[in-house]
């Protein structure tokens, strides 16, 4: 992925409301109206956030002129953080600490 | 020698994590189920600590883990146990709560510990409702990354830009 589009992805993700919208869309598509009530924002405010997300390629919108349902687009997110790699790092750090803990527990058991 | 962690995506809806531990299965199980031990290794991102670890590990029982980070930032994960067979197998739902914003949906986590002589092999399968939900976990993963500060994201960006 080009760095320029990664920049767009990350500036779109820098806003907590937009991240929350993405988290909502991760559960399934939604129309603007369906996003208005949970976020307690005006329809124009939601539309503005959606435009940023769409421009960054993080969501796609249906063609239905009335509803234009929004869906999350997985690829830019995946490219943005190599998220599997991020995931792996979190677990690697956890399990390295678990190794140390297990060593301590084994040493304690041997003492008994 | 350090054991290697593997993360794979065998299907569109799953993430599978495997890892060996140089310890008997009972010890690994205890470390993954007793709150006082869990708190010592699932500490969250650098600068965070696990502050809540509630475990009611029986079928239908719930768990809730919460972490506190710099400037009082919080994150939490909770769920319900569906199956529990110590020290071998555990199936539970997991849902991230990010601040007061609900996270990216629910995942079904299946933990299997297999004894191999003096070592234990762990397989953790995370199953999501859809490919979108699985990939969308990136949104909440991103949120946690953000909560921990932008430093690590810089590294991720560099890696992704290669």
pLDDT digits (tens, 9 = 90+) for B101-143: 444 568 899 999 999 988 999 999 989 888 777 776 655 554 4
Instruction: Encode pLDDT of A75-85 as tens digits.
Output: 666 555 555 56
Give the domain ranges of chain A. 3-81, 82-112
Which pLDDT belongs to residue A103? 94
Looking at the domain assignment, is residue B33 inside a domain? Answer: yes
Give the one of B17, B135, B156 whose C-beta lies nearest to A74's C-beta: B135
**CB-CB neighbors (< 8 A) of A97 in chain B:** 40-43
Looking at the domain assignment, is residue B78 inside a domain? Answer: yes
Q: What is the DSSP letter of B75?
A: E
Answer whether A71 sits within 8 Å of B132, measured CB to CB.
Answer: yes
Number of domains in chain B: 1
CATH value at residue B91? 3.30.530.20
* 3-state DSSP assignment of residue B91: strand
Tell me if the bond preceding A58 is cis, omega within 30° of 0: no
- A11 lies within 8 A of chain B by CB: no
Looking at the domain assignment, is residue B3 inside a domain? Answer: no
- A91 lies within 8 A of chain B by CB: yes
In percent, how much of chain A has pLDDT > 90?
Answer: 29
Q: Report the pLDDT averaged over residues A89-107.
A: 88
ipTM for the predicted complex: 0.75
Give the one of A13, A79, A95 whose C-beta lies nearest to B142's C-beta: A13
Answer whether B138 sits within 8 Å of A74, measured CB to CB.
Answer: yes
Region of B63 (left: φ > 0; alpha: ψ -120 to 50; beta: rest) is beta
Report the predicted TM-score, pTM, of the whole model to 2 decimal places: 0.63
> Is residue A9 scored above 70 in pLDDT?
yes
Answer whether A16 sits within 8 Å of B101, measured CB to CB.
Answer: yes
What are the strands, taking DSSP E only, across A4-109?
A: 59-61, 70-72
Looking at the domain assignment, is residue B5 inside a domain? Answer: no
Which pLDDT belongs to residue B145? 42
In percent, how much of chain B has pLDDT > 70?
Answer: 77
**Domain span at residue B37?**
11-157
Answer whether A23 sits within 8 Å of B17, measured CB to CB.
Answer: no
- Average confidence score pLDDT of chain A: 80
Contact A68, A50 (CB under 8 A): no
Q: Report the pLDDT averaged over residues A11-21.
A: 80
Which pLDDT belongs to residue A11? 76
Instruction: Classify strands B119-127 and B14-21 as parallel, antiparallel or unpaired.
Output: antiparallel
Q: Per DSSP, what are the bridge partners of residue B14?
A: B127
- In words, the CATH class of domain A3-81 is mainly alpha
Token pair, residue B143, equals 């949120």
Confidence label for A44 from pLDDT (cuts 50, 70 and 90)? very high
- A45 lies within 8 A of chain B by CB: no
Q: Report the pLDDT averaged over residues A35-60.
A: 90
Give the one of A13, A23, A85 whose C-beta lies nearest to B159's C-beta: A85
Looking at the domain assignment, is residue B56 inside a domain? Answer: yes
Looking at the domain assignment, is residue B162 inside a domain? Answer: no
Question: Which of B5, B123, B138 would you mutate first to test chain A, the one with the most A CBs within 10 A?
Answer: B138
Please give the Cα distance from B32 to B99 (Å, whole number).
24
Residue B62, φ and ψ in degrees, nearest 5: -115, 165
Looking at the domain assignment, is residue B2 inside a domain? Answer: no
Which pLDDT belongs to residue A111? 75
For the purposes of burial, counting CB atoms within 10 Å of the CB of A92, is it exposed (0-12), middle (13-18) or buried (19 or more)? middle
Q: How many CB pairs under 8 A join A and B?
A: 148
Looking at the domain assignment, is residue B113 inside a domain? Answer: yes
Answer whether B133 sits within 8 Å of A27, measured CB to CB.
Answer: yes
For the purposes of burial, counting CB atoms within 10 Å of the CB of A31, is it exposed (0-12), middle (13-18) or buried (19 or more)? middle
């Amino acid at each position: 992925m080009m760095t320029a589009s990664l920049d767009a992805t990350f500036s779109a993700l820098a806003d907590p409301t937009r991240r929350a919208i993405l988290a909502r869309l991760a559960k399934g598509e939604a129309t603007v109206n369906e996003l208005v009530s949970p976020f307690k924002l005006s329809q124009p405010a939601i539309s503005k956030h959606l435009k940023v997300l769409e421009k960054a390629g993080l969501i796609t919108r249906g063609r239905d002129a009335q509803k234009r349902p929004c869906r999350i687009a997985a690829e830019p997110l995946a490219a943005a953080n190599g998220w599997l790699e991020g995931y792996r790092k979190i677990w690697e750090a956890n399990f390295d600490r678990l190794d140390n803990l297990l060593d301590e527990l084994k040493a304690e058991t041997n003492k008994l | 020698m350090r054991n290697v962690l593997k993360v794979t995506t065998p299907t569109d809806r799953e993430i599978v994590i495997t890892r060996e531990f140089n310890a008997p299965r009972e010890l690994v199980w205890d470390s993954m189920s007793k709150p006082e031990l869990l708190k010592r290794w699932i500490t969250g991102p650098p600068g965070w600590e696990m502050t809540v670890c509630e475990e009611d590990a029986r079928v239908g029982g719930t768990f809730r883990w919460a972490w506190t980070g710099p400037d009082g930032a919080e994150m939490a994960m909770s769920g319900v146990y569906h199956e529990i067979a110590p020290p071998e197998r555990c199936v539970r739902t997991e849902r991230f709560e990010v601040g007061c914003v609900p996270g990216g949906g629910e995942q079904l986590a299946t933990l299997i510990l297999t004894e191999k002589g003096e070592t234990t092999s762990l397989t953790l399968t995370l199953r999501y409702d859809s490919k979108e939900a699985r990939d969308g976990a990136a949104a909440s993963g991103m949120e946690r990354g953000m909560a921990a500060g932008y430093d690590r994201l810089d590294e991720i960006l560099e890696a992704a830009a290669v």
